[in-house]
């Protein structure tokens, strides 16, 4: 999700190509090419410029609707739907067998492993989705920043937060059998929800700072974050 | 006297035939270059092939210059064909028409975005209220954003097709990409 105003000019983007399986967009106004995953202009008059990221989430509809009952949802285009061109519900499973074409040949883990990637001031770490689901919440540290990764009770929606309260790193635990999901912090025992908001206890009303994550395939995350580490349960 | 005139005529015909040969050659080169100009970037940025930075630079340059260059080629091809048309046999005329069609086709292709043929853009996206969004399953993933109190969800299954959706959320112009 990118803000489209660059140097005071509003840009309009089109899909225009592909670079190692991540797409390239072209803006109508200057004709520059932009890499979708990084928001960086890679060629053309605006080369070197960067789009300003806007915090986004990847959630299940159920989780999102509970949080934002007054939100709006993009409708499918009837013509595209009738032509059967939208992806099917099991498309992520099908994508696993699609060949990967990239000049990056990292073999740390399977290329199509789904990861949640964190990039904090250039320190990058990827968390394989299956590890995340199994161990959520994960209290970790990336580039010196204490981080918390949480998978929602829907087992698919993931969020990351900076787990710092008043300058101190705090650990979070999952409340057993709570639906919707509830977390407790080890410092005060306050109760927090999946949005990082303290609902009760001494810290009631406080909000954890959400960190942007990218749900991606390992090969794509690794091509754009070549120095990334891969979260490994055994080492923690 | 007669011999000289005949000789002169022969020289003139020879020169003219030579010029025609050069014109045919030029036309052939125009056709080949025009096709390379438009097909090369499509070849370099194929979805299921890896791309190198230099291939991207070349693709960008070709995509950038091909609209104007192919237009110049098309005009030149028109002039050449017009000149070669008179007195040409039927099969040469067929060749001229084909050459012209190819160059004009290339000029047209240079103005197209074949990625948007494969994945149609959605210039006027429509939205439903969250409660009424029965076209998305509860466990389907949505890409979501919230700006200045306004919340929007873009279903991933639709985004995986369109890839790019322009929107204004909470007064901020943005682009949802997937």
Measured between beta carbons, the chain B residues lying within 8 angstroms of A24 are 45, 56
Q: Is pLDDT of A115 > 70? A: yes
Q: Who among B143, B151, B156 is closest to A68 (CB)?
A: B151
Q: Distance (Å, rounded) from C-alpha B57 to C-alpha B54?
A: 5
Between A and B, how many residue pairs show a Cβ–Cβ distance under 8 A?
212
Note the pLDDT tens digit of each residue in B52-102.
Answer: 888 899 999 999 999 999 999 999 999 999 999 988 899 999 999 999 999
Kindly provide the ipTM of the predicted complex, given to two decimals: 0.89
Domain carrying residue A28: 5-43
Is the four-CA dihedral B29, B32, B36, B38 of positive or negative sign? positive
State how many domains chain B has: 2
A52 belongs to a structural domain: no
- From B96, B118, B140, the end of a domain falls on B118
Q: Is pLDDT of A102 > 90? A: no
When the pLDDT of each residue in chain A is averaged and rounded to a whole number, the result is 90
Q: Who among A43, A70, A72 is closest to B128 (CB)?
A: A72
Is the four-CA dihedral A158, A65, B177, A79 of positive or negative sign? positive
**Paired strand residues for A198:** A192
Of A192, A189, A112, nearest to A148 by C-alpha is A192
Note the pLDDT tens digit of each residue in A182-205.
Answer: 999 999 999 999 999 999 999 999
The CA angle B144-B148-B154, to the nearest 5 degrees, is 20
Q: Residue for token digits 């001229």?
A: B96
pLDDT digit string (tens) for chain B, length 178 residues:
556 677 777 777 778 788 889 999 999 999 999 999 999 998 888 887 888 888 899 999 999 999 999 999 999 999 999 999 988 899 999 999 999 999 999 999 999 998 888 888 898 999 999 999 999 999 999 999 999 999 999 999 999 999 999 999 999 999 999 9
Domain carrying residue B71: 2-118
* Contact assignment for A88 to B158 by CB distance below 8 Å: no
> Is B83:B96 a contact under the CB 8 Å cutoff?
no
Whole-number pLDDT of residue A236: 46
Cβ of residue A58 closer than 8 Å to a chain B Cβ: yes
Measured between beta carbons, the chain A residues lying within 8 angstroms of B174 are 1-4, 54
Domain match, A152 and A217 both: yes
Of A188, A185, A162, nearest to A173 by C-alpha is A185
Whole-number pLDDT of residue B106: 96
Query: How far are the Cα atoms of A73, A211, B89, B143 from residue A55, in angstroms, in the given order?
Result: 17, 8, 67, 11
Chain length of chain B: 178
Whole-number pLDDT of residue B1: 55
Is the four-CA dihedral A174, A151, B149, A67 of positive or negative sign? negative
When the pLDDT of each residue in chain B is averaged and rounded to a whole number, the result is 91
Domain match, B145 and B113 both: no
Query: How far are the Cα atoms of A194, B31, B146 from residue A71, in angstroms, in the given order?
Result: 18, 54, 9
- From B75, B94, B118, the end of a domain falls on B118
- 3-class DSSP assignment, residue A217: strand
Structure tokens at B146: 């919230």
Domain match, B136 and B95 both: no
């Amino acid at each position: 999700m990118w803000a489209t105003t660059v140097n005071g000019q509003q840009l309009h983007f089109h899909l225009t190509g592909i670079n190692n399986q991540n797409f390239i967009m072209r803006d109508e106004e200057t004709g520059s090419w932009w890499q979708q995953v990084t928001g960086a202009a890679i060629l053309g008059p605006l080369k070197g410029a960067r789009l300003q990221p806007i915090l986004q989430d990847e959630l299940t509809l159920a989780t999102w609707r509970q949080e934002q009952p007054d939100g709006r949802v993009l409708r499918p285009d009837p013509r595209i739907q009738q032509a059967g061109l939208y992806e099917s519900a099991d498309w992520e499973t099908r994508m696993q067998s699609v060949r990967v074409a990239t000049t990056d040949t990292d073999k740390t883990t399977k290329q199509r492993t789904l990861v949640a990637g964190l990039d904090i001031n250039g320190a990058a770490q990827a968390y394989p989705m299956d590890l995340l689901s199994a161990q959520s919440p994960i209290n970790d540290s990336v580039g010196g920043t204490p981080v918390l990764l949480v998978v929602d009770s829907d087992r698919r929606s993931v969020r990351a937060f900076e787990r710092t309260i008043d300058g101190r790193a705090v650990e979070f635990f999952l409340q057993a059998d709570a639906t919707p999901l509830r977390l407790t912090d080890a410092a005060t025992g306050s109760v927090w929800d999946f949005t990082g908001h303290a609902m009760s206890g001494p810290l009631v009303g406080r909000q954890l700072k959400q960190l942007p994550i990218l749900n991606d395939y390992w090969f794509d995350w690794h091509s754009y974050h070549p120095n990334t580490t891969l979260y490994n349960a055994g080492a923690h | 006297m007669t011999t000289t005139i005949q000789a002169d005529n022969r020289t003139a015909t020879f020169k003219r035939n030579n010029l025609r040969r050069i014109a045919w050659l030029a036309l052939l080169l125009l056709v080949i270059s025009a096709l390379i100009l438009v097909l090369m970037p499509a070849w370099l940025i194929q979805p299921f092939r890896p791309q190198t930075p230099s291939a991207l630079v070349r693709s960008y340059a070709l995509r950038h210059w091909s609209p104007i260059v192919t237009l110049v080629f098309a005009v030149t091809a028109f002039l050449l064909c017009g000149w070669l048309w008179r007195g040409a046999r039927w099969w040469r005329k067929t060749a001229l028409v084909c050459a012209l069609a190819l160059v004009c086709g290339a000029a047209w292709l240079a103005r197209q975005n074949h990625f948007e043929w494969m994945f149609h853009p959605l210039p006027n996206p429509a939205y439903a209220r969250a409660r009424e969004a029965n076209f998305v399953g509860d466990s389907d993933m949505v890409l979501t954003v919230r700006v200045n109190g306004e919340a929007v969800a873009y279903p991933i299954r639709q985004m995986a097709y369109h890839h790019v959706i322009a929107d204004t959320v909470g007064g901020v112009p943005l682009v949802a990409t997937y």
